[in-house]
Homo-oligomer: A and B are copies of this chain.
Amino acid sequence: MTFELKAIGKVSSPLTDLAAAPRQADEGAPAAWIEFEPSVLEGLRDLKAGDDVVVLTWLDRARRDLLSVHPRGDASRPPEGVFSTRAPHRPNPIGLHYTKVLGVDGARVHLASLEALDGTPVIDLKPALAADVAQR
Contacts and interface: CB of A to CB of B under 8 A. Distances in A.
Interface residues of A, number: 59
Contacts of A2: 4-7
A24 interface: yes
B7 A82 contact: no
A31 interface: no
A33 interface: no
Interface string A110-136: 001100000001011111111111111
Contacts of A91: 6, 8, 40, 43, 124
Nearest to A126: B86
Contacts of A52: 133, 136
Interface of A: 1-8, 24-26, 40, 42-47, 51-54, 56, 58, 60, 67-68, 80-86, 90-92, 94, 96, 98-100, 112-113, 121, 123-136
